[in-house]
Structure 1
Amino acid sequence: MMAGTIEISLDGHIGDLHLNVDMSLPMRGISALFGRSGCGKTSILRSVAGLSRIPGQIAVGNEAWQREGHFVPTHKRSLGYVFQEASLFAHLNVRQNLNYGHRRAGNGSGKVQFDDVVELLGLVRLLDRSPENLSGGERQRVALGRALLSQPRLLLMDEPLSALDRLSRDEILPYFEALHASLKIPILLVTHDLDEVERLADHLVLLQSGKVLASGPLHALQGDPSLPLAARRDAGVTLDAAVTGYDHTYGLATLTTNGATLTVPLPAGAAAGRHRLTVRAGDVSLAREVPHATTVLNVLPAKILSASHSGYEVIALLGLGSEGAGSRILARVTKRSWDQLQLQVGMGVHAQIKSVALVREAKG
């Protein structure tokens, strides 16, 4: 048992699914369980919560919640659970629903304070409303606040945005990002939405048919051409970057990541701190020489580290920087272009990325 990790080892059947997983997750940030419906994501989450009992071991830090001959019931596990549908008490207003979470913690103190949660989740103007007068996104924010105020050691979220329409999801995602940036509570997130993974996750667990296909830092799995993520049409790699400059004339921010400096359109008010950039493989083109007279603002030296051929396309793994020692990104090019430029592994190239193609997401 490792004090700084969440250890989950399960081997058993849930209906027709044989769940056989062994994973070690960090006690910080957001770990996303990702895969198709029926791969075992929710079964793992329910096992961690003690709602399902599959043979195996579960430990959070130095606390064993399940092992042979030992099982801690749900109500004695220090956890918060946010479901797909926000289950609020209809007879209580928002303030009273939140206070229920505080009372469940057993005292009025703790690391997570009422006023902090209300401010973080934008609930100030909602405190006196009843649940029936809230939108779906607002109800989910209240449910999240109530879970946080129970002072959990671990927060579980089972597809918390799947019941919301696109507009509501876009409205609530910044609050989840703020939660990620502000609180130190580790989170296990179940999702089948890659956009949520890219915006929120630090660690990723890829699940397939009840087994762990891969587990590791998000960017590492995104940049592994041998995994199914790289074959998706929306494949990309998420990079952390820091704002190091701003051009007020053109509304362009300079962001620095490992091995590269990028130019990205950003509002002046957002041009500070750290940001997440998802670089799509389809938005990266390659050149043997530095292009001239181009509208592409990001022309980055890189080295081809590996290449996988699929039909008439090639997925190339690039290391940024002239020696290829920086961050990894993917490039999807046609086999014709690959052959005409006589590209090969180990070659130095110039990766071109349009500024408008970069996905901008605040990290805090």
Structure 2
Amino acid sequence: MSLDVDIQATLGRFKLDAQLQAGQGATVIYGRSGSGKTSLINAIAGLSRPQSGRITLDEQVLFDAALGINVPVHLRRIGYVFQDARLFPHLNVADNLDFGTRYADASLGKNHRKTVIEMLGIGALMQRRPGALSGGEKQRVALGRALLTAPRLLLLDEPLAALDTQRKEEILPYFERLRAQGGPPMIYVTHDMSEIVRLADHLCVLRDGKSVAQGTAEDVLADPANMKLIGVQDAGALITGVVDHHASDGLSGIRLSAGMLFVPRMAVTVGTSVRIRIRAQDVILSLSEPKDMSSQNVLPAKITAIREGASSGFAIALSCGTDRLLARITARALAQMELKVGQNIWAVLKANAMPPNAIAPS
């Protein structure tokens, strides 16, 4: 799948000038409220019409303002899961799901429907109406309805935003399974960094209606130039490792390219590949190898870039073996330590600074 978007639109006082390139897997559109995330995917779905620009999906032109092309919504073969599910309240679950098959290829038949129902675990809900469903159940049904259209592309507009933590944890594994099992490519809108850790192959950051950064999730998050765009509290890097062992003291050891990382015990089997988000503000730098300290996580690193950040701070990009980290330090610390690009240094990480929602199977 190949999606290419370059559109411009004026929506009241808001101006959208966004570019997006997406392929297989999950592409996450990230940004603060009001940055244009929903406006962008509504244009992809055909729910709104930009003033100018072009949208292509698998070389099919869905929209071209100059040529006067605007393919109707029902002919784009794009599934859409809204934040509030938007199930038909007068229909039961079975009928809501069947509505999704209206524009699907008839050859998919009952087996495809059965597979989707089993994957989402909604077989017992078929005779209920939406008013009798929990928030998590509604979103599973909404996802099933979208999948039963046999979409070329799946759009998800902050599908977990209205759910509490328990319901989010109920739904996220289904999105992870779709991604892992080669389901339809996803464009996933969120402002929650933990969902990026769990799902993102690619990342597009929107700010004030403009695409300000995009690429692989690892590249975008590890670039110190993007710290201001992501936000000081959320800025950090994604690294990948393999669960090496589970210790009796409640920690799990994850083997990285630069050494061992200890995190709160994970409920995954040894040998599992995992992706870990390490926030820049949770990385401490030392000129010499720290000894006799409480932190168990000390990794050798090299400074690859130094960028001035927000609030008189600096973003320090580090290479740790084949992984990359970000650290956020003050201007005073930078001057006192006389840090320079190419300098060897030590990165200290707190195990408790990596909660369960910052770690996910890769």
> Could you state the TM-score of these two structures normalised by the residue count of structure 1?
0.88
14, 32, 35: which one aligns with 2:11:
14
Q: What is residue 142 of structure 2 aligned with on the other side?
A: 143
48, 54, 62: which one aligns with 1:52:
48
CA contact (8 A) 2:240 2:323 kept: no
Local SS of the residue matching 1:64: strand
- RMSD of the TM alignment (CA)? 2.5
2:360 equivalent to 1:362 = yes
Q: Which moved more, 1:253-262 or 1:329-338?
A: 253-262
- Between the aligned partners of 1:158 and 1:112, the Cα distance in structure 2 is 28
- Between the aligned partners of 1:263 and 1:186, the Cα distance in structure 2 is 33
Local SS of the residue matching 1:184: coil
Amino acid at match of 2:232: R
Q: What is residue 130 of structure 1 aligned with on the other side?
A: 129
- Equivalent residues, number: 355
Q: Which moved more, 1:69-78 or 1:229-238?
A: 229-238
Local SS of the residue matching 1:138: helix
Local SS of the residue matching 2:98: helix
CA contact (8 A) 2:4 2:57 kept: yes
Instruction: Give CA deviations for 1:105-128 in whole Å, capped at 9, x if unaligned.
Output: 142517993333233323243334
5, 9, 31: which one aligns with 1:35:
31
CA contact (8 A) 2:203 2:220 kept: yes
- Between the aligned partners of 1:112 and 1:344, the Cα distance in structure 2 is 61
The Cα of 1:220 is off from its aligned counterpart by 1.3
Q: What is residue 242 of structure 1 aligned with on the other side?
A: 242
Q: What is residue 352 of structure 1 aligned with on the other side?
A: 348
The Cα of 1:296 is off from its aligned counterpart by 1.9
Q: 1:300 to 1:111 in 2, by over 3 A?
A: farther
2:206 equivalent to 1:210 = no
Instruction: Give CA deviations for 1:147-190 in whole Å, capped at 9, x if unaligned.
Output: 01110000011121222234322332233222322233111122
CA contact (8 A) 2:97 2:144 kept: yes
The Cα of 1:50 is off from its aligned counterpart by 1.1
1:313-324 alignment runs, 5 A limit: 313-321=313-321
Q: What is residue 100 of structure 1 aligned with on the other side?
A: 99
1:65-144 alignment runs, 5 A limit: 65-67=62-64, 68-107=67-106, 109=108, 113-144=112-143
CA contact (8 A) 2:79 2:147 kept: yes
Local SS of the residue matching 1:109: helix
- Between the aligned partners of 1:42 and 1:275, the Cα distance in structure 2 is 30
Amino acid at match of 1:132: G
The Cα of 1:79 is off from its aligned counterpart by 0.8
Local SS of the residue matching 1:199: helix
The Cα of 1:272 is off from its aligned counterpart by 4.4
The Cα of 1:30 is off from its aligned counterpart by 1.4
- Between the aligned partners of 1:138 and 1:277, the Cα distance in structure 2 is 29
Amino acid at match of 1:63: Q
Local SS of the residue matching 1:362: strand
Local SS of the residue matching 2:317: strand
CA contact (8 A) 1:87 1:143 kept: yes
- Between the aligned partners of 1:254 and 1:62, the Cα distance in structure 2 is 45
- Between the aligned partners of 1:249 and 1:190, the Cα distance in structure 2 is 39
CA contact (8 A) 1:251 1:268 kept: no
Instruction: Give CA deviations for 1:242-293 in whole Å, capped at 9, x if unaligned.
Output: 33x2135334433344545423333454544222210011211112222223
Q: What is residue 281 of structure 2 aligned with on the other side?
A: 282
> Could you state the TM-score of these two structures normalised by the residue count of structure 2?
0.88
Q: Which moved more, 1:346-355 or 1:94-103?
A: 94-103
Amino acid at match of 2:318: L
- Between the aligned partners of 1:305 and 1:158, the Cα distance in structure 2 is 36
Q: What is residue 334 of structure 1 aligned with on the other side?
A: 330
Identity percentage over the alignment?
41
2:151 equivalent to 1:155 = no
Q: Which moved more, 1:8-17 or 1:227-236?
A: 227-236
Local SS of the residue matching 1:43: helix
- Between the aligned partners of 2:346 and 2:168, the Cα distance in structure 1 is 36
CA contact (8 A) 2:264 2:355 kept: no
2:187 equivalent to 1:188 = yes
2:59 equivalent to 1:62 = yes
Q: Which runs of 5+ in 2 are unaligned?
A: none
